[in-house]
Amino acid sequence: MTNGHGSHHVIEITEKPPLEVNNELFGWSSTLGSKYRLAIGITGILFLLGIVGFIMKVQQNGFSDYVPWAYLTAAFGFVMLFAMSAPMLAIVPRLARGHWGRPISRIAELWALIGILLLIVMIPLLLALPEADGRNTFWFVDKYREGWPPGAPHVWLALLMVGLVVNGIALLWTAAIPDFAAIRDKSISSGKSAKLYGKLALGWRGTKRQWRSLRASHGVLGALYFATMVWSQTMINYDFSQSLIPGMRDSIFPAWYVISGLQSGVGLVLVTAYIARKFGNLQDYIHVNQFWSASKILLALSLLWAYFWWSGFIVYWYGKTETEKNIIDLFWFGAYKPMFILNMLLNFFIPLIFLMWNRVRKSDWGPAFVGFIVILGSLVNCIRIFTAAFSLPDRAIGHQLHTVPESIMKPDLPDVLMVSGIISGAILLYLIAIRYIPIISAWEIREGMLYQTVRYLHKLPLKVIGKPD
Amino acid sequence: MQQRVQKTEREINRDLLRPNLTLQLRFFVVVGVCATIVAMAGGALAYAIIKGVGVYGVNRPVMWGFIIVNFVFWVGISHAGVMLSAILRLAQAEWRRPATRAAEVLTMFALGTAALHPVLHTGRQWRTLYWVFPYDFGRGIWPDIRSPFVWDPSAIFTYLSGTIMFVFILLVPDIAVLRDRTTGIMHKVYTVAALGWRGNSKQWQLQLLAGILLSALILPVFVSVHSIVSWDFAVAIAVEGWHATIFAPYFVIGAVHSGVASVITFLAILRWVFRWEDYIRPTHFDALARLMVIVATGWFYFLVIDFGMGFYTGEPGEIAVRYAQMGEWPGNMLFIIFITTGYFLPIPLWLLKNVRQSPMLMFWSSLFVNIGMWLERYILIIPSLERKQSLTFTWGHYAPSPIEVMLVIGSFALVTLGLVTFCKFFPIIPMYDVKEGKVLEQVIRIGKINVPAVFREE
Amino acid sequence: MVIQERTEKKYGMVVDIDRCSGCQACVVACQSENNVRINDERDFLQRRAVQWIRIERYWEGEFPNAKARFIPMFCQHCDDAPCEPVCPVYATYHNNEGLNVQVYNRCIGTRFCANNDPYNVRFFNYWEPVWPESLRNQLNPDVSIRSRGIMEKCTFCVQRIRRAGRDAKKADQQLTDGDINPACVQACPTDALVFGDLKDENSKVSILKNHERSYRVLEHVGTSPSVYYLKKVDKHATEEGHEVHD
């Protein structure tokens, strides 16, 4: 009946008067100091440089060919993976009715705002991407006819992405409505922000009916978001990577890509939560328990990452057709071998070695560190699979992969500027958002406080968690 | 409410030990029927061994038939135990308590039955038994490690031995309870099996640690077993429709899908047969059904990608296979039945709370899922072999023979026989787990409402 | 003695489809040489007929312009044989003469090799083979009889290869091109089948395999077969309906 540890550890739960929670969390953004302004400054400059790089690229290459846009595509894929997968860490605990997700749910959902940046960046990429005509796409093309439905894949990809971003923002918004209403009521004296938050709160009064419909919308939007996110990651992977490689038929490649996205999303939330806890002074709200629970998910996803990769590899290795041998060369053991080994380290071995240990998972720095490693790995991953796919000259339908490039595609200056620009742009957008939207969901914390308490079991203090039906 | 029922420890003991301590006629009836069917299947097998594998329906090019389909099916069912037991234990989900041992035991017997099938389907069964053993037996030749058929026995037997250990170690406290309540020969047997259990804190600590370790260690085994079985098919470049990279996770999640459904079926039967309405409550079916919705949707995603990628390259050989699977008779009928019973009938139903909390409806819908999943394995294996490559001259056709059907029915009877025998001799609901749940139960009062709560050990 | 004679060779065949008339003399010869079981109507209906070499017939076109296309199909003795790595007991492997060898007494009958064989040239003995009393004297003593539960296929008449090797050693001569002829090659009335050592540049198979009509079946599967086919010369044929596998 004991936990086998036998050591006394501090039980961290938030026990504050609800009004104090509101005041602290809503007033938090005004406590952001010089470090915050410095971060905004740096990311702002890098973002502007990214725009400069983009203009340089357009003047240099235009949109006639997709190959020069390889690095921007890789960066787009990377940011989409981590930012759009992050809300999962808000959806999953809510679905499983786990209270541990409460402090980090808003942190996770806020990343969905990055979708706006992604939609803008997607425009040049779609302009450059070749039509479905005459090449493999997912859209059930008969080999010798034109792509159907018309506009494939661009129109459908754009629709998916728009749907995903709208869904993500809707999720963020509905989950924040009670907080917006509280801010509206708090600042009832100061007109301007009351008006703004009043509009955002959509007439929230906190009636029973409103609560019921709010929870229902969370459930529906959450499930819809998961499905849309998985499907759009699948399609991005198809249209920008697999379909550009002649003869490649890898059914697990998109699923593995989704797993790498989920992995980097969880990692991102862990890093953000750690920064918020340490530099934002939110230790009272973000406890080690959040890292303990999320790190289990991160460990499982890291194992799944390696498992999915192995499933693809073993089938290709065994099959030994010419295309399969060339794909093994292209992605894993040819010119891109150093990047692939780095990937294996960053996305599998290091997370495994670190997160195996209870002590590491039970700290805040451990999972955050692994989260950062995983994000780095995801960047290397995206660069690897997108630039490798873009570096092939021939993608016609019915053709097989015959030649593999000798060396990796090197980035030029506009590429570097654009990659750093889009990543900084994502961080910048997030930093601006937390100024106006409370970074921790106050109403969920207050609700959680009702469900958690400490009681004694045979003289041992233990946490008691309510499990409402 | 989680439908909590207040019971004393004495009442729990009495209710859950009733099948073990009383003799009931229906036990003998069920055992008799199952044993008869198993004997008939044994006779069919003997006929196949003596006359030759020609009594099965397999031919050229469909060299694998019902027996391999059944093999994959039972390996799939065997994934229920680990899913529920290990993962829920590590996630500290309270609703796992009555279900864990039932799931693990189902795994044990399903896996044992599955392990027989590769022997049954070979042409020379009497040699198969020892020639895939990792030892050269004086022939100077070791098994070929490149072959998935050599990976299979290692994976399956690792999983089987791990599961047996898992079941046994977690059974010891309950065997001790039986030891203290029986006399005569059963008492002697239980005394040996109880390994000297006294129930002091040191033993409980060890037992808990063993449970956690085994849970964590058996998870990679569980993932690897069905992946290895899937690679029996995925490595075959000659068969269009098999050589897909997605097979490993697709099979694993399909196994969890059919396995958890079979646990639901098993629990519903237990609840009905032993009148355990207070222990296997609607809330358990509710939780299992919600888990199933997620697993099933994940499985459906993999299915869509598998079929989608089948059409992706537009190669005529692959299209021909998909057409055989979905477009032609009997493939089209089987496909519609499979996709309806496997996904589109149960999942929308399980979105409704009333369905989830009705054991009767859960029983029937989970049965449908398994019918669909058996058909899924059939659709995956047979049409692909019937339409091998684009050399249409050797395209073939498969129809099962009565011997194969008898062996399939016999496998179901064998698993049932194992389960019924286990339920007779050991408590199928872990008593100490249920009692622990009672101790950890708490209530938090919020305003006028009592919210059920639980102590959380960290 | 036989082991010492094995050198680095690569036996292969060339099949000239233009010469093949579909007469099935090769099928008969193979059956009698290799003790292949007798296939009756029941075996064909059950799709279990064993024919180590078969003439595949494809119809092209519609009546009244329907044409029959023949292609003799037998074990291609692939360099990258997909049937080899999947056998759990090493009953099939590639020897250093380029032959895909089947070891009957090691086979336990899992039939995995047959599933992974894209040419469908492996045959399983579902039943015990039965020869009437009168036909037992015609069985070739150089070839073992396979019981039920065992996989079998074309061996390029390995017994003839061994015999030629022994004879050459006894006569203290080297083997030359044309010394070894499997039964099918010997029986073919139009010389459509040619057998030889692909590593010998001067052998007939080596010269023919570089012919402009030469191709291999199911090249895209990547099995690297040792059998080359020479396309039929048909002045009425068009490119329509032919897949271009790059």
Mutate to test the interface with B, among C54, C76, C89 (most CBs of B within 10 A): C89
- Taking an 8 Å cut-off on Cβ atoms, the answer to whether A1 and B204 are in contact is yes
Q: How far is CA B225 from the centre of its chain?
A: 12
Cβ of residue B308 closer than 8 Å to a chain A Cβ = yes
Q: How far apart are CA B438 and CA A1, in angstroms?
A: 12
Residues of A within 8 A of B208 (CB-CB) are 1-2, 4
Q: For the residues B123-147, what does the mean pLDDT come to?
A: 79
Q: What is the pLDDT of residue C7?
A: 58
Looking at the complex, report in whole angstroms how far the Cα of residue B245 sits from the nearest Cα belonging to chain A. 5
Query: Which residue from B187, B197, B163 is spatially nearest to B83, judged by alpha carbons?
Result: B163
Residues of B within 8 A of A251 (CB-CB) are 244-246, 305-306, 308-309
Contact B314, A143 (CB under 8 A): yes
- Taking an 8 Å cut-off on Cβ atoms, the answer to whether B451 and A467 are in contact is yes
Cβ of residue B288 closer than 8 Å to a chain A Cβ = no
- Taking an 8 Å cut-off on Cβ atoms, the answer to whether A462 and B436 are in contact is no
- Taking an 8 Å cut-off on Cβ atoms, the answer to whether C86 and B236 are in contact is yes
Name the residue among C48, C87, C88 with its Cβ closest to that of B60: C48
Say if residue C245's pLDDT is above 50: no
Which residue is closest to C224 within chain A, CA to CA?
A: A321
- What would the two tokens of residue C154 be? 């074309």
Q: How far apart are CA C104 and CA C90, in angstroms?
A: 11
Half-sphere exposure for A25 (CA within 13 Å, toward CB): 31
Say if residue B93's pLDDT is above 50: yes
Residues of C within 8 A of B63 (CB-CB) are 111, 114-115, 124
Q: What is the pLDDT of residue C2?
A: 42
Dihedral, CA of residue C166, residue C172, residue C177 and residue C182, to nearest 10: -20
Per-residue pLDDT of chain A (469 residues; tens, 9 = 90+): 334 444 445 677 778 888 888 888 888 888 888 889 999 999 999 999 999 999 999 998 888 888 889 999 999 999 999 999 999 999 999 888 888 999 999 999 999 999 999 999 999 888 888 776 666 666 655 544 554 556 667 888 899 999 999 999 999 999 999 999 988 887 765 666 778 888 888 888 889 999 999 999 999 999 999 999 999 999 999 888 888 888 888 899 999 999 999 999 999 999 999 999 998 888 889 999 899 999 999 999 999 999 999 999 999 998 888 889 999 999 999 889 999 999 999 999 999 999 999 899 999 899 999 999 999 999 999 999 999 998 887 666 667 888 888 888 889 999 999 999 999 999 999 999 998 899 999 999 999 888 888 888 888 888 888 888 7
Cβ of residue C222 closer than 8 Å to a chain B Cβ = yes
- Taking an 8 Å cut-off on Cβ atoms, the answer to whether A2 and B243 are in contact is no
- What would the two tokens of residue C120 be? 């469908």
Q: Which is higher by pLDDT, B138 or B163?
A: B163
Q: What is the ipTM of this complex?
A: 0.92
Residue % of chain B over a pLDDT of 90: 60
Instruction: Please tell me the total number of residues recorded for chain C in this structure.
Output: 246
Which residue is closest to A143 within chain C, CA to CA?
A: C243
Taking the alpha carbons of C32, C35, C37, C38 in that order, is the dihedral positive or negative? Answer: positive
State residue A373 phi and psi, 5-degree precision. -60, -40
Cα–Cα–Cα angle for C98, C104, C105, rounded to 5 degrees: 130
Looking at the complex, report in whole angstroms how far the Cα of residue C43 sits from the nearest Cα belonging to chain B. 10
The count of CB pairs under 8 A between chains A and B is 141
pLDDT category at C193 given cuts 50, 70, 90 is very high
Cβ of residue C139 closer than 8 Å to a chain B Cβ = no
Neighbouring residues of A215: CB distance < 8 A, sequence distance ≥ 6: none
Strand-strand pairing, C54-60 and C67-73: antiparallel
Q: What is the pLDDT of residue B113?
A: 95
Contact C232, C215 (CB under 8 A): no
Q: What is the pLDDT of residue A136?
A: 65
Cβ of residue A462 closer than 8 Å to a chain B Cβ = yes
Dihedral, CA of residue B143, residue B144, residue B147 and residue B153, to nearest 10: 20
- Taking an 8 Å cut-off on Cβ atoms, the answer to whether C222 and A399 are in contact is no
Looking at the complex, report in whole angstroms how far the Cα of residue A120 sits from the nearest Cα belonging to chain C. 39
The total of other beta-carbon atoms located within 10 Å of residue A189's CB is 6
Which residues in chain A (291-330) have CB-CB distances under 8 A to chain C?
A: 318-322, 324
Name the residue among C85, C222, C244 with its Cβ closest to that of A321: C222
- Taking an 8 Å cut-off on Cβ atoms, the answer to whether A311 and B442 are in contact is no
- What would the two tokens of residue A356 be? 């195996």
Q: What is the pLDDT of residue C86?
A: 92
The predicted-structure confidence for B183-228, as pLDDT tens digits, reads as follows 899 999 999 999 999 989 999 999 989 988 988 889 889 899 999 9
State residue B344 phi and psi, 5-degree precision. -75, -15
Class for the domain spanning C11-236: alpha beta
- Taking an 8 Å cut-off on Cβ atoms, the answer to whether A324 and C222 are in contact is yes
Q: For the residues C120-136, what does the mean pLDDT come to?
A: 91
Residues of B within 8 A of A138 (CB-CB) are 308, 312
Cβ of residue A400 closer than 8 Å to a chain C Cβ = yes
Name the residue among A11, A316, A462 with its Cβ closest to that of B245: A316
Q: What is the pLDDT of residue C244?
A: 40
Looking at the complex, report in whole angstroms how far the Cα of residue A419 sits from the nearest Cα belonging to chain B. 31
Residues of A within 8 A of C245 (CB-CB) are 398, 400
Q: How far is CA A102 from the centre of its chain?
A: 18
- Taking an 8 Å cut-off on Cβ atoms, the answer to whether A320 and C220 are in contact is no
Beta bridge partners of A396: A135
Residue for token pair 């038994």:
B129
Neighbouring residues of A383: CB distance < 8 A, sequence distance ≥ 6: A71, A74, A78, A339
Which residue is closest to C116 within chain A, CA to CA?
A: A319
| Averaged pLDDT score across all residues of chain B | 90
- Taking an 8 Å cut-off on Cβ atoms, the answer to whether C222 and A320 are in contact is yes
Q: Which is higher by pLDDT, B440 or A393?
A: B440
Cβ of residue B184 closer than 8 Å to a chain A Cβ = no
Q: How far apart are CA A173 and CA B270, in angstroms?
A: 46
Q: What is the pLDDT of residue C60?
A: 85
Looking at the complex, report in whole angstroms how far the Cα of residue B134 sits from the nearest Cα belonging to chain C. 10
- Taking an 8 Å cut-off on Cβ atoms, the answer to whether A321 and C244 are in contact is no
Mutate to test the interface with B, among A137, A220, A252 (most CBs of B within 10 A): A252
Q: What is the pLDDT of residue A139?
A: 63
Q: How far is CA A260 from the centre of its chain?
A: 10
- What would the two tokens of residue A71 be? 């690095």
Q: What is the pLDDT of residue A3?
A: 43
Q: What is the pLDDT of residue B246?
A: 92
Q: What is the pLDDT of residue A165?
A: 96
Mutate to test the interface with A, among B312, B356, B389 (most CBs of A within 10 A): B312
Q: How far apart are CA C170 and CA C160, in angstroms?
A: 15
Q: How far apart are CA B215 and CA B221, in angstroms?
A: 10
DSSP label of C219: G
State residue B7 phi and psi, 5-degree precision. -135, 145
Which residue stretches of C35-109 are H helix?
A: 41-45
Q: How far apart are CA B150 and CA B143, in angstroms?
A: 7
DSSP label of C126: -
Residue % of chain B over a pLDDT of 70: 98
The predicted-structure confidence for B372-391, as pLDDT tens digits, reads as follows 999 999 999 999 999 988 88
- No. of H helices and E strands in chain B? 19, 2
Residues of A within 8 A of B436 (CB-CB) are 1
Give partners of C (≥3 CB pairs < 8 A).
A, B
Residue for token pair 């009383």:
B22
Residue for token pair 């008593």:
B431
Mutate to test the interface with C, among A322, A395, A403 (most CBs of C within 10 A): A322
Give partners of B (≥3 CB pairs < 8 A).
A, C
- Taking an 8 Å cut-off on Cβ atoms, the answer to whether C56 and B393 are in contact is yes
Looking at the complex, report in whole angstroms how far the Cα of residue C50 sits from the nearest Cα belonging to chain B. 9
Rg of chain A's alpha carbons, rounded to an integer? 24
Percentages of chain C per state (helix, strand, coil), in multiples of 5? 25, 15, 60
Cβ of residue A392 closer than 8 Å to a chain C Cβ = no
Looking at the complex, report in whole angstroms how far the Cα of residue B219 sits from the nearest Cα belonging to chain A. 10
Q: What is the pLDDT of residue B296?
A: 95
The predicted-structure confidence for C28-85, as pLDDT tens digits, reads as follows 999 999 999 999 898 899 899 999 999 999 988 888 888 888 899 999 999 989 999 9
